[in-house]
Every structure is written in C-alpha cells, then in structure tokens.
Chains A and B, each alone.
Chain A
C-alpha cells in the first residue's frame, strides 16, 4: 500500500505513482503528513544567512509560512531546501538584516 505513513509527520517521503488499482486507498483518505514532492521548484531566490550578525531571535523561524526555516540547537537558522518557496518573509522580518534573498542555489550559509 502507498498508504504507509512516514516515520515522522510532515517529512518528505518518496512516493512512487501507483500502478495497480489496489495501490490507491479505498476512499479519499490518506495518512496525514505523507508528502511526496518538494516545493524546491517554486522559487527564484532564497535566503542567504549571515550568521555572524544573527541575534538568534527566531523571528525567521516564526514567520516562515512554509516551516522552511529550521533552528539549530544553538538557535541559528538553516533553510529547508525542499520547503522554501523564496517568499522573502524571513529576510523582511529579520531585525538584524542578517538575511538577504540571494539566487536560488547560492550557499545559504556562506
């Protein structure tokens, strides 16, 4: 069954398109948090972080509608490649101007 849940909710899980009719669940239902495709292709720009000036306030993490900013144990942000759509909210709301929107694919932590 393609219905097998991923180990963690809302993690990227590989999903091969069903080929057998029985691979579809019997009704419009599916395990929650079962994701297949990345949103990577949505963006033109993405955040480039200057950790030297980062105050670890966490506002970038707070305001990301896509949960694409992850915080390290120490409170520093990293960018989730699969989820960032490049909207720029994190950069706009960073009180220290530690985030700028660079080209997609640029090193996020130069």
Chain B
C-alpha cells in the first residue's frame, strides 16, 4: 500500500497556515478526485503563536488519524519559527519551502527552497497573506495536484470577487516560480 503524501504548514496564528492546509485538501478532494485530510495543530488559537497545519493526500480513503511524523513537504511561513519549535517531522527527503528574502542556510534535514513570499505577496496581492502564493510554489515544485485543481479550490474558497482574482493571480505567478525551482532540481517532483 502507498503511504499518503504529508504536507506540514508552519506559520503564526493569523498568517493563514490552516487555510492553506485546508485549501490544498479541498482542491484534492473536490477537483482532483483524490482523498485528503486537513487538520490544524489542535488547541486554542492564539494570534501570533506558532501554528502547525497538516494536509494528508492519497488516492485511497485515508484512515490514519495520528499526528504527522514524517513530512514530504514542509512550508514555513515565518522562518523565525524554525529556531523555536520542534521540527522532528523533517527528514532528509522533506522538501522545505521557507519564506525568506535572504539566502537559506539552515542546519535542518531536507532540501531547502527559499522564496521571498511576503515581498511577492505585497507586490502581487497587495497584502502579506502568503498562503495561496506558497500553495502555488508547492504545486509548481512538486506537481502534487494538477494546478488547475488548486485554482478551482481557490475559486471555491474565495468566490468570484476581486479577492479571488488577486489570489488566483498570485497562485499562478507562484506556480511558475515553483516550476522554475523544480527545473533547477528535478528530483523535487512528488
């Protein structure tokens, strides 16, 4: 049997880590005919506090409801968190996508990809919400789901207004960025 694909999202309360996890799962279930679980780190929500969120994707129904121990992909929305939280889910195979403006020098397992997500979000979205953008990078880099399925997911989540349009725009830009990262490192494909 094949193991489900596990994505871990790490951000701060209010940054939209769980929305990203849920959007990825929603896109998989509703628009890619896949199975998915999406769940937050359980407990009270506190703005600013570290937040984990998880998306588990597979072709068959997913029964495993235990915590994620090995991440295939980890998306870090705030690099400063990496020094203060447990990252035991990182393995040498984990693709670690980190929002950063500076070159990445992390003493952590996995293959590391730095993306200036906040800067790009200000440019493309006019806000600092990086979740749809990082979703685009993830899909471009891994090809985990068809990009059009995630675009449909974003449309389902944000509706038809200008917010949806801006998020879609950011997603596609970021998707291209992810593709470029993948071209530079073909082994990243899921």
Direct contact of A and B (CB under 8 A): no
Interface residues of A (CB under 8 A from B): none
**Residues of B with Cβ closer than 8 Å to A?**
none
